[in-house]
């Protein structure tokens, strides 16, 4: 069985490559003594920016509820140390990850470079974040329409 090990985040652009991403707060997921996956936060930009949540699980362990048990525990653990806001990027076809994030309070924000961006703020309810996101989308759409009609 392949054991996933925490790795440096994918370097899918020259901009991110220059940022020297730093994984931290890595949590191994074990089945008995065997490591079957991990969760970690990654700082892509400057210190203090909103970290990205990244996770990986052995394919043999998919669809068994492992990540559904581990993610809520991880979020509680990191919140105790003050990590309340984070982003997660998911490929559009990864329905299980999107469902996992949704069940744990993450809110879809936008499509970014072929991935879907989700955000969570453990200091606010999911409904609060969805409301703000919807207001921002409404303003953005109205601005776009105004500029179409009246020029930039």
CATH superfamily of 14-121: Gcn5-related N-acetyltransferase (GNAT) (3.40.630.30)
C-alpha distances out from residue 99 to 2, 13, 31, 96, Å: 25, 27, 23, 5
pLDDT grade for 40, boundaries at 50, 70 and 90: very high
Q: Is pLDDT of 124 > 50?
A: yes
Question: pLDDT (tens digit, 9 = 90+) per residue, 45-100?
Answer: 766 678 889 999 999 999 999 999 999 999 999 988 888 888 888 888 999 999 99
What confidence score (pLDDT) does residue 12 get?
Answer: 46
Structure tokens given for 146: 């105004």
What confidence score (pLDDT) does residue 35 get?
Answer: 93
Question: pLDDT (tens digit, 9 = 90+) per residue, 7-36?
Answer: 444 444 444 444 567 788 899 999 999 999
C-alpha distances out from residue 123 to 31, 98, 105, 118, 132, Å: 31, 21, 11, 16, 14
């Amino acid at each position: 069985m392949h054991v996933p090990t925490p790795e440096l985040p994918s370097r899918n652009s020259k901009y991110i490559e220059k940022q020297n991403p730093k994984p931290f707060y890595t949590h191994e997921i074990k089945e008995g003594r065997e490591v079957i996956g991990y969760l970690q936060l990654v700082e892509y930009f400057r210190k203090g920016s909103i970290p990205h949540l990244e996770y990986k699980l052995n394919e043999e362990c998919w669809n068994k509820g492992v990540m559904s048990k581990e993610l809520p525990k991880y979020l509680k653990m990191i919140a105790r140390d003050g990590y309340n806001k984070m982003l997660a990027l998911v490929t559009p076809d990864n329905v299980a990850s999107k469902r996992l994030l949704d069940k744990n309070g993450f809110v879809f924000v936008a499509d970014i470079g072929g991935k879907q961006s989700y955000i969570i703020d453990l200091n606010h309810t999911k409904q609060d974040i969805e409301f703000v996101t919807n207001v921002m989308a409404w303003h953005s759409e109205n601005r776009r329409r105004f500029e179409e009609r009246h020029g930039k």
